[in-house]
Amino acid sequence: MFQVRIHGRGGQGVVTAAELLADAAFRQGQYAQAFPSFGSERTGAPVVSFCRISAAPIRVREPVLAPDALIIQDATLLAGIDVFAGLVPTGYALLNSRHSFAALGLGDRVAPLPPGHAIRVPATELALAHLGRPLPNAALLGAFAALYPGLDLDAVLAALRERFPGAVGERNVAAATAAHDAALAERAATAGTKERVDA
């Protein structure tokens, strides 16, 4: 079983991201379970959602306590919440930021992860460019398909097109594809050299 925890803020499509991820996994023939953390839903408030992916039916319903992957939609959460809590040593971390983990003071947190497992993409900027709105979730899912070998970009794009029919879907597809490319480039830059330090 592969467990993903998504951190973001109300209004950023955190719950939708988990549902889209589950839908993409379903399209790949996997069992998947997506659910939100059940807080009061307010715009801007910290929100967590979860997604489990497995070749076998999923029965467990507790929150994801030891994620195999983290998707961090909003870097401003890092100051107040230990988003890395429970991340397994072989896990993945995907961060929406123009800045590197090291520049954000998180070098120590991602250093133990295998090379190429912690990457950042400027998903908000890509969303603004392609959607015209700062909704990073679709872009991050495209990037996640570049990070996690179990997820295909085509499945993500199909899930996006079903969820957002028409032009909106195509704009999300463009954002996800651009982020996928950015993530591949970031992986190539960070794999083997651990985290690249920049300003």
Partner 1 sequence: MLSQIEGSKAVAKTVAACRPEVICAYPISPQTHIVEELSRIVKNGELTGCEYVNVESEFAAMSVAIGASATGARAYTATASQGLLYMVEAIYNASGMRLPIVMTVANRAIGAPINIWNDHTDTMSQRDSGWIQLYAEDNQEAADLHVQAFRIAEELSVPVMVCMDGFVLTHAVERVDVPEEADVARFLPPFVPRQLLDPDQPITMGAMVGPEAFTEVRYLAHQSQLDAVDVIERVSAEFASVFGRHTGGLVRGYRLEGAGTVVIALGSVLGTLKDAVDAEREQGHAVGVLGITSFRPFPYDAVRAALAGVAQVVMVERAFAVGVGGIVAQDVRTAVEGTGTRVHTVVAGLGGRPITQASLRGVLAEAYAGELGRLTFLDLDRAVVAAELAREHAAEAPRAAARTAVRSPDAADTVPAGGAVPVR
Positions that interact with partner 1 (CB under 8 A): 18-19, 22-23, 26-27, 31-36, 38, 40, 57-63, 65
Q: Are 21 and 137 in contact (CB under 8 A)?
A: no
Lookup result for tokens 């983990």 = 101
Count the alpha carbons within 13 Å of 167 in the hemisphere toward its beta carbon.
3
Length of the chain: 199
Residue 51 or residue 126: which is nearer to partner 1 going by CB?
51
Return the DSSP state at 75: G
Structure tokens at 12: 């950023």
Q: Which is nearer to partner 1, 33 or 137 (CB)?
A: 33
Q: Taking the complex as a whole, how short is the minimal distance between the CB of residue 42 and partner 1, in angstroms?
A: 13
Return all residues near 129 (Cβ < 8 A) that are at least 6 apart. 175, 178
* Shortest distance in whole angstroms from residue 137 CB to partner 1: 14
Q: Closest CB to partner 1 among 41 and 108? A: 41
Token pair in block for residue 119: 């990457």
In the complex, least distance from residue 114 CB atom to partner 1, rounded to whole angstroms: 26
Residue nearer to partner 1 on the CB measure, 85 or 111: 85
CB of 60 to partner 1, least distance (A): 5
